[in-house]
Amino acid sequence: MSAVIVREASLEDLPELLEFEQKLIEAERPFDPTIRQPPVKYYDLKALLLDEHVGVYVAEYDGRLVSSGYGMARKARSYLDHEEYAYLGFMYTLPEYRGKGINQRILRALQDWAK
């Protein structure tokens, strides 16, 4: 899928990212019966998009968002040999685009962001 573009998300992507969040919750619900019934939110996506310590990335194919992920800079525990690390989350890919290496490209973008 060479026509896939991976880029940093923007506020204009918020409506689609909110849909991804609900699809992610729906996909996880069978594995965690403690997730409340809708409406449920995992993230404050607008705040994440505006946070300088967070990188939210999306993959776009033919003008449509098909995948997402974020990296969040966090302080490491005092006993570790590094001061910060990147926590990764919000990994979601539309079902029809799975198995095509798209999330791997999001992960690479997040690795670059974390450096």
Higher pLDDT, 84 or 33: 33
Rounded to the nearest angstrom, the gap between the alpha carbon of residue 98 and the centroid of all alpha carbons in its chain is 15
Mean of the pLDDT values across residues 29-33? Answer: 94
CATH code: domain of residue 29: 3.40.630.30
The residue among 94, 91, 2 whose CA lies nearest residue 42 is 91
Distance from C-alpha of 34 to C-alpha of 54, rounded to nearest angstrom? 28
pTM above 0.85, yes or no: yes
* 114, β-bridge pairs: none
Band the pLDDT of 55: cuts 50, 70, 90. Answer: very high
Q: Give just the sign of the alpha carbon dihedral 29, 68, 107, 79.
A: negative
Mean of the pLDDT values across residues 15-40? Answer: 94
pLDDT at residue 105 in the model: 97
**Residue numbers of the domain that contains 56:** 5-114
